[in-house]
Amino acid sequence: MQKFEYRSPRFSVDLPIRISLENATVSGRCTEISKEGMRVELEQPLPSGVCGKVFLSYQDANFELNVRVAYAGATHSGLQFICELEQEREEVAELVESLASTQHHVARHL
C-alpha cells in the first residue's frame, strides 16, 4: 500500500517580501503560502538549501520568519518555514489563516 503525505493547503496571495540569505538581501513577492512554506517570485534564482529570513508586513504587523530554500527555479523559489518553537508555528498558522480568510483557496498542495 502506498503511503500518502498530506500537506497544508496553499493560498494565493500577493505580498511584497524581503529575503535575507547569507550576506545578501533580495526583494520579491510571495505568490502562495501555507503553514509549511511559501512560493516566491524573484528576479534571480536563490541557491537551493540555503537558510535565511523572510520579512513581510500584513495588516500593520511585521513578520520575520526563518526559512530554508526548498527549491529554486528560474523565476520562482519555494521556501520552507523553519519553526523551532511552538510560538513560531502558531505565528505562522495565524498569518496563514488571516491571509486565507481574505484570499481564495488554491486547489493544489505543497
Q: Which domains does the chain have, with CATH numbers?
A: 10-101 (2.40.10.220)
pLDDT at 27: 94
The grid coordinates listed for 61 are 504587523
Q: Are 83 and 92 in contact (CB under 8 A)?
A: yes
Q: Are 38 and 71 spatial neighbours (Cβ–Cβ below 8 Å)?
A: no
The string of pLDDT tens digits covering residues 6-64 is 567 889 999 999 999 888 899 999 999 999 999 999 988 888 899 999 999 988 889 99
**In this structure, are residues 92 and 35 in contact, taking their beta carbons and an 8 Å threshold?**
yes
Global pTM value: 0.82
The amino acid at residue 5 is E
- Asked if 46 contacts 80 with a C-beta cutoff of 8 angstroms, the reply is no
Please check the confidence at residue 103 and state whether its pLDDT lies above 60: no
